[in-house]
């Protein structure tokens, strides 16, 4: 039996205020939504706030076809999935040496990865650009897969080694006494127990990479190699004359992230809070 406490008005005021704020926060998405279905004539006549009278579905297909959005989706998916795999793989191995192996100098190794977190991408971009040209990796989707896969290792190592350092010592000691090698401990104890955390990390890498912007902008000039995010920055400029087409483009552009987010919301939130405070 729960005791019902008197609520008073205050909670309702708070509720009203916060819901109002949430609606304000969602408002830009709502504006993109109604205008993407609005025929251009209606937009010119009735302005930005009115609901469409005729729901015009044609702009989505037009934008999709013109920028070959299927291709961009495939590019983004390929980059994000490969980065998630490479990033988790490298982070896991490095964090294993630090968190479970407790190797000497682990503080320095972590510090090295952490300092790299403060270096802005602008301080890396020109060397990456010019070296990738000499290596013939320029305008090749694998260049950004390698770059992001390796760069993710900084955050991934930090997060996983802090999780692994909380691992029960008795379990590891028992395995060592039984003569288990590091490889054996990794495979039969650490990996199975850490699988959910690795999945959280992979989800974070996926969505971070999906939204990456500066490095693809520099490294992938040709239309065929663009990611969704990059296409949003580059091609929508062509639609300035038709604002409702831009709205449709925005809607198509953020749908994949929003759908992905709603599916993996809990996983992602766990990762974000895990990363902030161990």
Chain positions 157 to 196 lying near other proteins, rule: CB under 8 A, are 157, 176, 181-182, 186
Tracing tokens 């009203």 back to the chain, one arrives at 16
Q: Which of 26, 171, 174, 263 is close enough to bind other proteins by CB under 8 A?
A: 26
Contact by Cβ (8 Å): 54, 39: yes
Is residue 124 a contact point for other proteins (CB under 8 A)?
yes
Question: Which part of the chain contacts other proteins (CB under 8 A), choosing from 62-70, 145-153, 163-171, 192-200?
Answer: 145-153
- Least separation, in Å, of the C-beta of 4 and other proteins? 10
Length of the chain counted residue by residue: 278
Q: Which of 77, 85, 90, 175 is close enough to bind other proteins by CB under 8 A?
A: 90
- Least separation, in Å, of the C-beta of 58 and other proteins? 19
Is residue 39 a contact point for other proteins (CB under 8 A)?
no
Q: Which of 48, 51, 74, 263 is close enough to bind other proteins by CB under 8 A?
A: 48
- Least separation, in Å, of the C-beta of 149 and other proteins? 8
Is residue 226 a contact point for other proteins (CB under 8 A)?
no
Q: Which of 1, 3, 49, 107 is close enough to bind other proteins by CB under 8 A?
A: 49
Within 50-89, which residues bind other proteins (CB under 8 A)?
Answer: none
Task: Tell me 57's DSSP state.
Answer: -
Task: State the alpha helices, DSSP H only, in the chain.
Answer: 10-36, 40-46, 58-66, 69-95, 106-118, 122-134, 141-164, 169-177, 182-185, 191-211, 214-219, 228-235, 243-276
Is residue 21 a contact point for other proteins (CB under 8 A)?
yes
Is residue 233 a contact point for other proteins (CB under 8 A)?
yes
Question: Which part of the chain contacts other proteins (CB under 8 A), choosing from 40-48, 58-66, 134-142, 194-202?
Answer: 40-48
CB atoms within 10 A of CB 55: 10
Question: Which part of the chain contacts other proteins (CB under 8 A), choosing from 4-12, 58-66, 134-142, 195-203?
Answer: 4-12
Q: Which of 16, 28, 168, 196 is close enough to bind other proteins by CB under 8 A?
A: 28
- How far is the C-alpha of 58 from the C-alpha of 108, rounded, in Å? 57
- How far is the C-alpha of 78 from the C-alpha of 58, rounded, in Å? 28
- Least separation, in Å, of the C-beta of 127 and other proteins? 4
Tracing tokens 């709603």 back to the chain, one arrives at 262
- How far is the C-alpha of 48 from the C-alpha of 35, rounded, in Å? 7
Look at residues 251, 209, 245, 248 and name the one whose alpha carbon lies nearest to residue 230. Answer: 209
Angle between helices 69-95 and 58-66 (to 10 degrees): 70
Q: Which of 55, 61, 66, 115 is close enough to bind other proteins by CB under 8 A?
A: 115
């Amino acid at each position: 039996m729960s005791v019902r406490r008197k609520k008073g008005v205050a909670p309702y005021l708070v509720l009203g205020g916060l819901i109002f704020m949430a609606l304000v926060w969602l408002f830009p998405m709502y504006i993109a939504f109604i205008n993407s279905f609005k025929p251009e004539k209606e937009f010119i006549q009735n302005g930005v706030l009115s609901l469409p009278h005729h729901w015009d579905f044609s702009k989505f297909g037009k934008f999709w076809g013109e920028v070959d959005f299927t291709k961009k989706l495939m590019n983004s998916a390929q980059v994000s999935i490969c980065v998630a795999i490479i990033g988790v793989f490298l982070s896991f191995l490095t964090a294993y040496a630090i968190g479970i192996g407790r190797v000497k100098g682990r503080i320095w190794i972590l510090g090295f990865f952490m300092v790299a977190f403060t270096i802005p991408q602008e301080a890396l971009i020109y060397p990456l650009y010019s070296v990738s040209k000499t290596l013939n990796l320029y305008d090749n989707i694998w260049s950004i897969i390698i770059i992001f896969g390796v760069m993710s290792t900084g955050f991934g190592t930090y997060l996983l080694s802090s999780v692994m350092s909380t691992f029960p010592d008795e379990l590891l000691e028992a395995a060592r006494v039984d003569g288990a090698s590091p490889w054996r401990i990794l495979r039969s104890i650490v990996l199975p127990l850490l699988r959910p955390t690795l999945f959280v990390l992979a989800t974070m890498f996926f969505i971070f990479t999906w939204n990456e912007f500066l490095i693809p902008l520099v490294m992938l000039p040709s239309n065929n190699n663009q990611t969704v995010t990059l296409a949003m920055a580059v091609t929508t400029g062509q639609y300035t004359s038709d604002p409702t087409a831009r709205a449709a483009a925005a809607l198509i552009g953020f749908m994949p992230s929003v759908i992905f987010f709603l599916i993996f919301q809990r996983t992602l939130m766990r990762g974000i809070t895990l990363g902030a405070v161990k």
